[in-house]
Amino acid sequence: MTKSELIAELSAANPHLRGQDVELIVATIFNEITAALSRGERVELRGFGAFTVKRREARTGRNPRTGEAVPVDEKAVPFFKAGKELRERVNRGKREGRAASDAKGRTDQGVAA
């Protein structure tokens, strides 16, 4: 899902809000998460997950084209860890989808479901 698709779905689910207001809300949330991460803070959204910043040490890398050694500077990388509820909901969806396809596969093979 893209940011514009998210805004469109939220607008459809909340017809009492103007599209511009929904766009502002989404942009504000993303900006606040970004600002907190840039300050080195952790952002936790209960039931969804946590955003943190991980530090990558400076290292020597390789240019894939020439094989030449290239210095890579230290950097900060945003990291997301899914929360328990999100993982369970995603896995529950996979199991339900798999059960439906398994049942379909059995009937296609002549085995009564």
Model pLDDT for residues 42-96, shown as the tens digit of each residue: 999 999 999 999 999 999 999 999 999 999 999 999 999 999 999 999 998 777 6
**What is the pTM assigned to this prediction?**
0.69
40 phi and psi angles, rounded to 5 deg: 85, 10
Give the separation between CA 5 and CA 18, rounded to whole angstroms: 15
Task: List pLDDT tens digits, range 12-53.
Answer: 999 999 999 999 999 999 999 999 999 999 999 999 999 999
Using DSSP's 3-state secondary structure scheme, residue 75 falls into strand
